[in-house]
């Protein structure tokens, strides 16, 4: 059983997050802290100039509400929204907060993943703690 579980959440359509959430509930001790972490990728400056000023604030607010709704379904869970490159930011967060388990959803790899690598692959290769990948 684990005491500090990190569950990176991707709201991409092809990712099913129900598996990692269910597994976190199963593997958590009764007093475990579960963190649902969503990483907002940086928007290039050339693109941000075309967006209404309130767009980013509203998008962050909506994402935080989604995370909070998911966190309500698990005991001792909280939703955390951060900004950065997904793979590096998940690993940086893990170094700082020292989870003893990271549970990640995966998808079927395609050619793009073979050439560029995926976030899950990056975390699996570089995390200092156990990583459980749910497909």
Query: Are 1 and 27 spatial neighbours (Cβ–Cβ below 8 Å)?
Result: yes
Give pLDDT tens digits for 21-44: 999 999 999 999 999 999 999 888
Examine residue 124 and state whether it is found in any structural domain, yes or no.
yes
> For the chain, how many structural domains are there in total?
1
Condensed to tens digits (0 to 9), the pLDDT of residues 42-78 reads 888 888 888 888 988 999 999 999 999 999 999 999 9
42: in domain = no
Strand partners, 34: 5, 77
Asked whether residue 46 is domain-assigned, the answer is: no
* Structural domain boundaries, residue 21: 2-35+54-78+86-134
Q: Which two tokens stand for residue 1?
A: 């059983």
Q: What are phi and psi of 31, to 5 degrees?
A: -110, 15
CATH of the domain at 119: 3.40.50.620
* In-domain check, residue 16: yes
Question: Given the structure tokens 């549970």, which residue do they identify?
Answer: 103
Kindly report the pTM of this predicted structure: 0.91
Residue 40 lies in a domain: no
């Amino acid at each position: 059983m684990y005491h500090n579980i990190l569950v990176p959440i991707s709201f991409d359509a092809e990712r099913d997050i129900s598996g990692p959430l269910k597994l976190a509930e199963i593997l958590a001790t009764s007093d475990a802290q579960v963190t649902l972490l969503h990483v907002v990728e940086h928007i290039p400056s050339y693109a941000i100039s075309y967006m209404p000023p309130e767009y980013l604030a509203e998008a962050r607010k909506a994402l935080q509400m989604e995370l909070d709704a998911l966190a309500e379904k698990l005991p001792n869970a909280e939703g955390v929204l951060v900004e950065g490159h997904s793979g590096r930011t998940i690993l940086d967060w893990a170094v700082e907060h020292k989870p003893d388990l990271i549970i990640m959803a995966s998808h079927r790899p395609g050619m793009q993943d073979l050439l560029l690598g995926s976030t899950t692959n990056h975390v699996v290769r570089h995390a200092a703690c156990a990583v459980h990948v749910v497909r």
